[in-house]
Structures are given as C-alpha cells and as structure tokens.
Amino acid sequence: MRIAYQGEPGAFSEAAAERVLPEAEAIPCRSFDEVFAAAEGGAAEYGVLPIENSIGGTIHRNYDLLLEHQLPIVGEVEVPVVHQLLALPEAAMAGIRRVYSHPQALAQCEKYLRTLSGVEIIATYDTAGSAKLIADGRLTDAAAVASARAGEVFGLKPLASSIQDFDDNITRFLVVGRTPLHDRVPDKTTIVFSLPNEAESLWKALAAFALRGLDLTKLESRPIPGRPWEYLFYVDVGAAYDDVKCGRALSQLAEFAHSVRVLGSYASWRSRELHRLPDPFEVRA
C-alpha cells in the first residue's frame, strides 16, 4: 500500500500520511498536482492533501484540484503542528540572515518571525524542503521553519521551539483515492455547487440543510475561472451521503442550483476519536 504526500520526508504531510495508514509506504511529491497524478496513475493508492489550518486558514489550491480531478475524498486526518526554527549544528542565532519555509508555516509563525531583526523571510514550496535546502547547501546564515522530525532527517538543530503563534495549531488533511478506507464508517460529505446570481440563492441553498437539522461544518467560496464575480461553494455536511436527510437536501438543492457535485463521503476525524480507533503515534510510543 502506498500513499502520496506533498513535500520532503519530515513534512507535516508525511505525518498525516502515517496517521492515515501507518503500514503504508509514504511517497513524497514535489507538488499537490503530483499527489493527484500519483493517486490517479497508480503510483500510489491514496493521496493526502492539506485543506485547512486552524491559524493560516484554507489551502485554496487543493479545493481547485478537487474540482479538476475525479478522485473522491475517502477520509480526513488532523495533525497537530509544532514548528521549530532549525539550523545547522554550527549555526548561531545571531548569525541568521534568512528564514525559509512554506507560506502557510510562515503565516502560522508570524508573531515570532516579526521579532527577528534584519532577517529576510523567504517562502518556499515545503517546510521539510526548506530544511533540506539548508542542509544540502550548508547554509550557516539561514534557518528553516519546519518540524522536529525534519530536523532529525536533515541533521539540523532547533534554535527555537514551538514558535507558532498559537498552541492549538492543527492542520486538517483530506485523503483521496479510488478505494474507500474500509475500516471507516462515513459520517461526513463534501459537496461543491454553483448558484444563480440572484437574491436569496445562497439562503435557499443553506436552508435545504438547515430545515433538516443537518450541520454544515464548513462553507468555502471559490471564484469560477473565466466568470468574474461568480463563485463555487464548497460545503462539508455532517452526515453521510446515503443518509436520508442528506439525500433529500441534495435533491432540493439540485432543483435550483446550476450544478451540484459530491466530492466524497467519508468518516470524519472526530468520529474516529469518538470511537477510539488506535492512533499510530500513540501505539508507537
């Protein structure tokens, strides 16, 4: 079994992959597009993608990719994110002139980074990739914002630990693949729809769920390419697709929406915790 993730070994996406399928081989990919390509082309059975962070917000690119591809969402996983400021063993804090990391990680550590006087903040494609950059280039005047595991993988030391702005820093990842995760019972459905640009359209769409007592755990709008000021609405519904109330709500929505597509029905991470399924990190400890 193989599961693709974006980044280098030590990335938080690798940790997400391990939480989903501890026994699987984790396949690193340079971009989110490559994760989809691996899961679609057979290089991996599943792909894992960050979709939102409790501090930095939504990873918009992955919402767009969900629409571009036909791979359904089959699961989700949450990963606590603790950032370190990593540098070569011989480096000193006083000599750091550049800090590298993924834009989301930089946003999550904004308060700490503002305290670094005379330091250039540089966005890269990956947290662990930034650690690799420093290790490969032997950059004694640079540091990376990345995980403790990335430091272990690339032989870097922490100059500062837990530098994220808030302690409760969590990233939610989606799992995509052609095969359901058979040990999980769906209780969540993600859909995307478009609406006529007229008064009360969104109200009517949300009412289809509210009148049936269905919880909408997330609502996200994204622009429709080529159609300025028109939007797609991504919604997480707190019910399985085959739930009668969810099915009726979707039928009502389809009566007036321009388009409705189900992106996946899957077990929420919260339901996994409630049913006390084993956490691979806890088992390993």
Q: What are the residue numbers of the active site?
A: 171, 173
DSSP state of 93: G
Going by C-alpha positions, the residue among 274, 269, 278 that lies closest to residue 80 is 269
- Note the Cα 4 to chain centre separation in Å: 13
Burial of 175 (0-12, 13-18, 19+ CB in 10 A): buried
Q: 244: Cβ–Cβ under 8 A, 6 or more apart, which residues? A: none
Burial 222-260 (b: 16+ CB within 10 A, else e): eeeeeeeeeebbbbbbbbbbebeebeebbebbeeebeeb
Q: Is the separation of the CB atoms in 144 and 134 below 8 Å?
A: yes
- Distance in angstroms between the alpha carbons of the first and the last residue of the chain: 23
The percent helix, strand, coil of the chain (3-state, each to 5) is 30, 30, 35
Phi (first) and psi of residue 52, to 5 degrees: -165, 150
Q: Would you say how long the chain is, in residues? A: 285
List beta partners, residue 246.
none
- Residues 65, 186 contacting (CB under 8 angstroms): no
Closest residue by Cα to residue 56 from 165, 217, 190, 173: 165
